[in-house]
Amino acid sequence: MVQEGLYLESPREDLDWSSLRFSYTKCPSLVISDIDISDGADGAQWSAPRAIPHDPLKLEPSAGALNYGQTIFEGIKAFRHDDGSIHMFRIDENAKRLQRSAERILIPQVPEEIFVRAVKMCCVWNSSYVPPYDSGGALYLRPLVVATEPYLGVRSSKVFRLVVYATPVGPFFSKPEGLAVRLVTGFHRSYPNGVGSTKMGGNYAPCMQSMAEARQSGYDLVLYLDAKGRGLVEESTAANFFALVDGVLRTPSTHRKTILDGITCDSICYIARHVLGMKVVDDEDLPVELVRTAEQAFFTGTAVIVSPVKRIGHEADSEMAVICKSLDLAQELKVILTDIQFGRREAPEGWLTQVTPSDLEPLT
């Protein structure tokens, strides 16, 4: 049974798709699901996801998400192909990562089926906001899980809400000459056995000061180093880092759980290995010493896609300066990745999930 009104729409005509940037545009629908584990986590289940008109969330001032930061999120893009069909990129990986983040801060696991359904529903209900194929934009879907129970003493909440909102997005950076990156020395975003590998709200607020300072000094992005002072490059606030050193593509290993497992990062490693036939090292540390000799460097993420770096450094320490000779590899990888996402090149098995109105039929 297809419910009334559930069909994919073409892009709205009242939006200027060509001027879209990575910024927020309100879409008409949200999707929500709730869980209450007051009687124990075992029998509790997330409610069937449902679409509601977009409205601000009503939260108690004492909600755990607001007071103690018990909140996690994901970021996924949906792409309109040339034939009008809509496809999400590697959503199963987002479902699994949300589960890993949830586990770390005692949020009840959202089953993959519920998660994928909620995100698909949000996509269908807002389908007129999926940008046209030739705009190069995408619908960014942001699932959040927030602790909503009102209580006071520090403990884990017993009530949570999954909320998925959507916003059409275009390019994050428009700097064809490449990014200026500041190595951050006075602050660490992550530390061994901490929470740096989770997509939890609390990982982002502490980074804002170093980002603002970098921007004031003329940089586009920050790059954090390991907290133990070993001079190891980790990542940016919300993007993974790659360097091409002696013809080998390197990204720092995530084994210490200080770096977020990026799905774009994993996809780029796959493409570099299997499409370009390159040597890729992703299971070793990446000393800043090695980065200093990099021929090329770039960042990856759902938002930034593949963004090439022009220079890396810190204005107070000229020893740190790295100038990249070329942006070619980042550009080539970006073309291959976006060709896959937009259906111009065959996707590896399971990378694209088509979104259809039948996804909104009741769960059986």
Ligand X SMILES: *Cc1c(COP(=O)(O)O)cnc(C)c1O
Alpha-carbon dihedral sign for residues 189, 194, 200, 201: negative
Asked whether position 227 contacts ligand X by CB under 6 A, the answer is: no
Check residue 336 and give left, alpha or beta (phi > 0: left; psi -120 to 50: alpha). alpha
Nearer to ligand X, 238 or 286 (CB): 238
Question: How many Cβ atoms are within 10 Å of 83's Cβ, its own excluded?
Answer: 7
Which residues, other chains included, contact 20 with Cβ-Cβ below 8 Å and sequence gap of 6+? Answer: 131, 135, 137, 168, 169, 170
194 binds ligand X (CB under 6 A): no
The first and second tokens of residue 14, run together, are 């009242």
Give 137 or 301: the residue with its C-beta nearer to ligand X.
301
Distance CA 228, CA 336 (A): 36
- Pick from 260, 297, 336, 337: which binds ligand X (CB under 6 A)? 260
Closest by alpha carbon to 197, among 252, 253, 261? 261
Give the shortest CB-52-to-ligand X separation in angstroms.
26
Q: Which residues contact 277 (CB under 8 A, 6 or more apart)?
A: none
Q: Which of 247, 348, 234 is nearest to 299 (CA)?
A: 234
CB 254 within 8 A of CB 229: no
Residue 268, interface with ligand X (CB under 6 A)?
no
When binding is defined by CB under 6 A, the residue of 238, 249, 269, 327 that contacts ligand X is 238
214 SS3 class: helix
Does residue 233 belong to the site contacting ligand X (CB under 6 A)? no
Residue span 198-217 as binding mask against ligand X, x where in contact by CB under 6 A, dash where not? -x------------------
Of 263, 286, 291, 312, the one binding ligand X (CB under 6 A) is 263
Q: Interface with ligand X includes 99 (CB under 6 A)?
A: no
329 binds ligand X (CB under 6 A): no
* CB nearer ligand X, residue 33 or residue 237: 237
φ, ψ (nearest 5 deg) of residue 160: -140, 155
Task: Name the residue nearer to ligand X (CB basis): 29 or 165.
Answer: 165
Closest CA to 241 of 340, 307, 176: 307
CB–CB of 143/76 below 8 Å?
A: yes
Nearer to ligand X, 201 or 231 (CB): 201
Regarding 252 and contact with ligand X (CB under 6 A), the answer is no
Q: Using the rule CB under 6 A, is 272 a contact of ligand X?
A: no
239 and 307 Cβ atoms separated by less than 8 Å? yes
Shortest reach from residue 225's CB to ligand X, in Å: 14
Check residue 301 for interaction with ligand X (CB under 6 A): yes
Two tokens at 190?
């992550």
Smallest distance, ligand X to C-beta of residue 250, A: 16
Pairwise CA distance, residues 308 & 300, whole Å: 9
Residue that has been written with the tokens 């996707």 in this structure:
347
Q: Is 333 in the site for ligand X (CB under 6 A)?
A: no
Q: Does 282 bind ligand X (CB under 6 A)?
A: no
Residue number, 6 or 183, with CB nearest to ligand X:
183
Choose the binding region for ligand X from 46-54, 56-64, 138-146, 255-263 (rule: CB under 6 A): 255-263
Distance of closest approach, residue 190 Cβ to ligand X, in angstroms: 8
Q: How far is the CB of 312 from ligand X (least distance, A)?
A: 17
Closest separation in Å from C-beta 264 to ligand X: 3
Q: State the nearest-atom distance from the C-beta of 354 to ligand X, in Å.
A: 20
Kindly state the number of chain residues that form the binding site for ligand X, as judged by CB under 6 A. Answer: 14
Nearest residue to 142 via CA among 115, 160, 113: 115
75 binds ligand X (CB under 6 A): yes
* Choice from 70, 254, 264, 296 touching ligand X (CB under 6 A): 264
Note the residues at the interface with ligand X (CB under 6 A). 75, 199, 235, 238-240, 260, 262-265, 300-302
